[in-house]
Amino acid sequence: MKDIEELESYFQKALDNYYIKGKIHSYVSGENEFDFRGFTFDGLQYIESLDQPNKSSKNIFVAFNFSDDLNTIFNTHVKEAIEELGLTYTIVNQSSTDHNKAISDEIIAKLKSSRIVIADFTNHRNSVYFEAGFAMGMKIPIIWTCQEGHEDNLSFDTRQYPHLVWSDGEDLKKQISDRIQVII
């Protein structure tokens, strides 16, 4: 807080929203005393919600290497898994982006509005590492995936996360569907 007035403003806002119990005592001298008596149930729920960004979002951001074989698998099987759950399959590539916008701005905007990020590390595309890292920083849950035969080449910094290792599109679809249902 830059000063006592800012603290008082936040304290009063928390009281008004029923996030905390307490009172502000104002004295004739012009000084105020903050009487904090604890968090309310609504306050605790609000604090917990900070760890679950975009909880009401239907967007699932999917990052993968746009090679022909992976395009087919993701744009068919993964898309079906997501849409069968009533969610929205979201990818950003050159063909899905307005040419007047920077693609990185579009990626960040879509990531920020997503409930979950699916990051596939098959063929080890650098942008997937970026998108997964950005999601981690935003506390957005990530479903880490990798096709069988590519898991030994995972970067040391992502190898520690549990990856869904998949054999074909149907296998990936089932595993993705199961994992999304656990998260939501």
The two tokens of residue 75 are 């744009």
Mean pLDDT of 89-112: 80
Domain residue extents for the chain? 4-49, 59-183
Residue 53 near residue 148, CB atoms below 8 Å: no
- Phi-psi domain of 21 (left: phi exceeds 0; alpha: psi -120 through 50; beta: other): beta
99 pLDDT exceeds 70? no
Among 1-10, 49-58, 95-104, 145-154, the range scoring the smallest mean pLDDT is 95-104
Instruction: Give per-residue pLDDT as tens, 150-169.
Output: 988 888 888 899 999 999 99
- What residues form DSSP beta bridges with 119? 63, 144
In this predicted structure, what is the pLDDT of residue 80? 98
* 59-183 CATH fold: Rossmann fold (3.40.50)
Residue 64 near residue 41, CB atoms below 8 Å: no
Do the bridges between strand 88-90 and strand 116-120 make them parallel or antiparallel, or are there none, so unpaired?
Answer: unpaired
pTM for the structure as a whole = 0.74
Q: What percentage of the chain has pLDDT greater than the value 70?
A: 96
